Amino acid sequence: MTSTLDAAGRGTISVFNDAEVVDAVDQLDAIAALRGVLVSAYRGTARSIPKTMSQFDDTSTAHSLGAVDSAGNVVAFKSWVNTPRGASAVLTLFDSADGRTLAVMAAGVLGMLRTAGTAALATDIMAAPSAGELAILGTGRQAFHQVVAIHAIRPLGLVRIWSPSESSRRKFASRIATELDLRVEVADSARTAVRDMPIVTTVTRASDPFLDGDWLVRGAHLNAVGAILQSTAELLPSVLPLSDFTTVDDVENAARGSRELREHFGNDLGSVLSLGEVLDRDVKRPTDPRLTVYKGLGSGLTDLALAALVWKRSHDTLDPKEN
């Protein structure tokens, strides 16, 4: 972490790169922070600032979103650009009481940690208590963090992997086996990957839906976190009608941004619960559900939660008297 003086002379601005973000928090810390801010949002003491997005050059996108946490006295804005050749993101954290800029941080890994942490939180709530095997569809930048986060809350006996590229499947499987010491299987199709698996995560950049509900075993829990553009989808129309328990990270953002939810529910997502509501009301997994589904699109609230945690942990380390 480096620091620079605030232009108004009111203190310093902390600057974090991706490695420093990772060093500041572990996965369980992240999940606990996410749990807290989602409950605060449901209770009305924190709120998202709606996401904006623009697509350019056919396959590239620019995004911005934010959040306000009145109880924590922080505001955050994150902006990022995603292109076929790479992506980068930056987050700015402010003190909501006096407007000071507290920190600027690289937000690529931060975003992966919050996406994975939120899916893991949903899995802990929604998956069967005995569920300990994961099928992960997709092997891109987000996929490894998804496995790490779910393994942190549900120790995994098996990870089964699929993506369209055989070389990517093999490379990713080797990383999971080596770095996490987990048993790994590589599937040659999405259908084979999800067969009999109690937890399934889709984290692809698919434009068109590919996952069929009939492939999913009874009682499975599905995290659908890959399709975050209004025009994209991972789930075929056969999936959501099977769900007896459907949640999202942010209902307003989901209603606006998810093609899959819009096509199934229309404009009324009344039966879809936010994770914050599920946590605050202690909503339980239904008895013997056909399927449970968490649809994640990202939320400024979850970015804010981890950014505030990174900033606080770094300052606790610098000044033990603050503990």
Cβ-based neighbours of 17, under 8 Å, separated by 6 or more: 105, 106
Query: Residue 319: pLDDT above 90?
Result: no
Q: Give the model's confidence band at 106: pLDDT under 50 very low, under 70 low, under 90 confident, else very high.
A: very high
**Under 8 Å between Cβ of 134 and 199:** yes
pLDDT the model gives residue 9: 58
pLDDT the model gives residue 132: 98
Mean pLDDT, to the nearest integer, of 76-104?
94
Query: Residue 318: pLDDT above 80?
Result: no
Residue 143 has φ and ψ, to the nearest 5°, of -65, -45
SS3 289: coil
Query: Which one, of 218, 224, 148, lies nearest residue 190 by Cα?
Result: 224
User: In terms of C-beta distances under 8 Å and separation of at least 24 residues, what long-range contacts does 94-100 make, across chains too?
Assistant: 96/68, 96/69, 96/70, 97/73, 98/10, 100/6, 100/8, 100/10, 100/11
**Under 8 Å between Cβ of 294 and 126:** yes
Q: Give the model's confidence band at 267: pLDDT under 50 very low, under 70 low, under 90 confident, else very high.
A: confident
pLDDT the model gives residue 321: 43
pLDDT the model gives residue 322: 41
Task: Could you please state the CATH topology (level 3) that the domain comprising 114-299 is classified under.
Answer: Rossmann fold (3.40.50)
Domain with CATH 3.30.1780.10 in the chain: 2-111+301-322
SS3 279: helix
pLDDT digits (tens, 9 = 90+) for 234-249: 999 999 999 999 999 9
pLDDT the model gives residue 91: 98
pTM for the complete prediction? Answer: 0.91
Number of Cβ atoms within 10 Å of the Cβ of 165: 10
pLDDT the model gives residue 303: 95
pLDDT digits (tens, 9 = 90+) for 172-224: 999 999 999 999 999 999 999 999 999 999 999 899 999 999 999 999 999 99
Q: Which of 184-188, 251-255, 261-265, 314-318 has the highest mean pLDDT?
A: 184-188
Cβ-based neighbours of 234, under 8 Å, separated by 6 or more: 137, 202, 204, 206, 209, 210, 211, 224, 226, 227, 260
Domain with CATH 3.40.50.720 in the chain: 114-299
pLDDT the model gives residue 316: 77
* Percent of the chain residues past pLDDT 70, beyond the cut: 95
User: Class of 2-111+301-322 per CATH?
Assistant: alpha beta
SS3 284: coil
pLDDT digits (tens, 9 = 90+) for 127-170: 999 999 999 999 998 999 999 999 999 999 999 999 999 999 99
Mean pLDDT, to the nearest integer, of 94-100?
94
pLDDT the model gives residue 320: 44
Task: Report the length, in residues, of the chain.
Answer: 323
Query: Which one, of 139, 108, 86, lies nearest residue 19 by Cα?
Result: 108
Q: Give the model's confidence band at 5: pLDDT under 50 very low, under 70 low, under 90 confident, else very high.
A: low
Q: Identify the residue whose tokens are 């998202």.
A: 48
Token representation of residue 277: 């509501």
Q: Identify the residue whose tokens are 């692809």.
A: 204
3-state secondary structure labels for all residues of 73-130: CEEEEEEEEEECCEEEEEEEEEECCCCCEEEEEECHHHHHHHHHHHHHHHHHHHCCCC
Token representation of residue 129: 């208590």
Compare 50 and 307 and report the one with higher pLDDT. 307
Q: Give the model's confidence band at 252: pLDDT under 50 very low, under 70 low, under 90 confident, else very high.
A: confident
